């Protein structure tokens, strides 16, 4: 049991959300890089930490390592918010497009803790981490709930062999006669808040949790636990360790989310504006990333007639409707309009169906290009955020 710490009375587990709060601290803060060549490599200096409310710069926490680190930087880059990091071991960086913003690289769970402590204002983490370390926390708020990467699920898994061979659902597991008060079902997990809560909700009796960081899939084979509760994506790690998921055993579906401290949004100058800009850029990029722009030529006697043909096809409606422009052809020295160029946006998934529908109504010369951004008049998430903040 060397790597595991038994948690007593699991329904009483309460995580310390505030390991950093309070007390004067000394902290390393790097001087922010300016555009001048001399300042390219900021020298770390030690400064004393002032009270959180005195801070005027806005802070965004990003995963410092692991699965989400690279994709988070890629997402921001795709939103024209490239993070400028002087070297990979330096934990502070900036985004030249956003003045008055510091980026701090932290472990995902520490991002959530530091949001609560007021040391960060915004952060990007997996929903699993946010839920585990921040769910009971009324100050924390999800600003964007689907950043479309880091997809995984928090799921219960049991061995494929032995007494579990014919156990395929949470109900089967609960009904096994093996679990008693003296000998409960032992579950190894890093999610000691979500796990017990889930089991309680499902009415599972006689369960105990032990905690471990990483390589949890080894625990059943080592005899340390009967089951595990861990993140699953492709399922390869489970399979390679002779484990299986069970029906009804998914605790949470997760992906990357943008989160914030409500207190910061409301009280700290500049946080709301920066959040609005980041949110708008994220939404514009994520909306565009699943669409194509399609242009085609269509024969027709006037624009309205062409529009009607397009609207008759279910996959060609576009975002608001087609843009239709006359194509001026010169034939025998005379200019005439026999064709119209149409522009529509189509979901990437529906591209081929859309091309077929365009052809069926006389479309030709179909050109397809990627879309970079779609800015709507106002993002629904922004409106929701303001209303949740009571603004
Ligand atoms: N197999 C996976 N596929 C997709 N996303 C995953 C997978 N495993 C984890 N994630 C997502 O990536 C996040 C970070 O996971 P990662 O393993 O990099 O860090 P961690 O194990 O939480 O951190 P630490 O090692 O500091 O404890 C998770 O919170 C989850 O949202
Ligand atoms: O279903 P799969 O695609 O096989 O992914 C699942 C694995 O990914 C995560 O671990 P990770 O690789 O991040 O290592 P860690 O345990 O060190 O965090 C998770 O803890 C699983 O072990
Ligand atoms: Mg991991």
Q: List all residues 6 or more positions away from 75 whose beta carbon is below 8 Å from its beta carbon.
A: 124, 147, 149, 256, 282, 285
Pocket test for ligand 2, best of 237, 239, 244 (most atoms within 8 A of CB): 237
Is 206 inside any structural domain? Answer: yes
User: How many A from CA of 391 to the centre of ligand 3?
Assistant: 37
Verify that 246 and 298 share a domain, yes or no: no
For 359, the domain range is 291-370
| ipTM for the whole predicted complex goes beyond 0.85 | yes
Is 46 inside any structural domain? Answer: no
Is 324 inside any structural domain? Answer: yes
Verify that 232 and 321 share a domain, yes or no: no
pLDDT digits (tens, 9 = 90+) for 261-286: 999 999 999 999 999 999 999 999 99
Do residues 366 and 358 touch, judged by C-beta distance below 8 A?
Answer: yes
Q: What is the DSSP string of 65-124?
A: SSHHHHHHHHHHHHTT---B-SSTT--EEE-TTSTTEEEEEE-HHHHHHHHHHTS-SEEE
pLDDT at 53: 52
Residues of the chain with pLDDT under 70: 1-53
User: How many A from CA of 190 to the centre of ligand 3?
Assistant: 10
User: How many A from CA of 344 to the centre of ligand 1?
Assistant: 38
Verify that 231 and 303 share a domain, yes or no: no
Is 180 inside any structural domain? Answer: yes
Verify that 247 and 163 share a domain, yes or no: yes
Verify that 164 and 248 share a domain, yes or no: yes
Neighbours of 321 (CB within 10 A): 12
The model carries a pTM of 0.85
Pocket test for ligand 1, best of 112, 123, 126, 239 (most atoms within 8 A of CB): 126
Verify that 300 and 358 share a domain, yes or no: yes
pLDDT digits (tens, 9 = 90+) for 296-342: 999 888 999 999 999 888 878 777 778 999 999 888 899 989 899 99
Verify that 247 and 164 share a domain, yes or no: yes
93 lines ligand 2 (CB under 6 A): no
Please report the atom of ligand 2 found closest to the CA of residue 236: 4
Is 298 inside any structural domain? Answer: yes
Q: Give the count of domains, the chain.
A: 2
Verify that 162 and 238 share a domain, yes or no: yes
320 lines ligand 2 (CB under 6 A): no
Question: Can you give the CATH number for the domain in which 206 is found?
Answer: 3.40.190.10
Question: Can you give the CATH number for the domain in which 327 is found?
Answer: 3.30.70.120
């Amino acid at each position: 049991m060397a790597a595991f710490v038994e948690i007593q009375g699991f329904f009483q587990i309460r995580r310390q959300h505030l390991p950093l709060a309070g007390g004067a601290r000394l902290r390393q803060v790097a001087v922010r890089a300016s555009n001048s060549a001399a300042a390219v490599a900021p020298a770390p200096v030690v400064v004393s930490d002032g009270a959180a409310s005195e801070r005027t710069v806005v802070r965004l926490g990003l995963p410092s390592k692991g699965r989400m680190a690279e994709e988070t930087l890629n997402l921001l880059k795709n939103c024209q918010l490239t993070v400028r990091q002087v070297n990979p071991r330096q934990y502070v960086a900036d985004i030249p497009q956003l003045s008055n913003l510091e980026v701090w690289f932290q472990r995902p769970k520490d991002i959530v803790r530091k949001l609560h402590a007021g040391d960060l204002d915004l952060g990007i983490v997996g929903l699993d981490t946010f839920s585990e370390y921040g769910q009971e926390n009324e100050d924390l708020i999800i600003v964007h709930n689907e950043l479309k990467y880091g997809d995984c699920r928090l799921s219960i898994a049991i061995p494929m062999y032995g007494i579990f061979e014919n156990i395929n659902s949470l109900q089967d597991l609960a009904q096994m006669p093996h679990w008693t008060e003296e000998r409960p079902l032992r579950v190894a997990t890093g999610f000691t808040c979500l796990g017990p809560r889930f089991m309680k909700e499902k009415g599972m009796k006689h369960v105990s949790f032990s905690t471990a960081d990483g390589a949890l899939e080894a625990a059943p084979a080592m005899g340390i636990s009967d089951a595990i509760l861990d993140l699953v994506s492709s399922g390869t790690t489970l399979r390679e360790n002779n484990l299986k998921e069970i029906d009804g055993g998914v605790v949470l579906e997760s992906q990357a989310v943008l989160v914030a401290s409500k207190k910061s949004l409301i009280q700290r100058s500049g946080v709301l504006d920066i959040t609005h800009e980041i949110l708008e850029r994220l939404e514009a990029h994520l909306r565009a990333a699943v669409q194509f722009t399609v242009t085609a030529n269509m024969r027709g006697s006037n624009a309205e007639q062409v529009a009607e043909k397009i609207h008759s096809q279910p996959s060609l409606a576009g975002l608001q409707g087609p843009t239709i422009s006359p194509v001026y052809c010169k034939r025998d020295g005379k200019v005439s309009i026999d064709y119209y160029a149409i522009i529509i946006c189509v979901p990437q998934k529906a591209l081929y169906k859309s091309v077929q529908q365009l052809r069926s109504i006389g479309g030709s010369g179909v050109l397809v290009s990627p879309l970079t951004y779609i800015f709507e008049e106002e993002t629904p998430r922004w409106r929701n955020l303001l209303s949740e903040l009571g603004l």
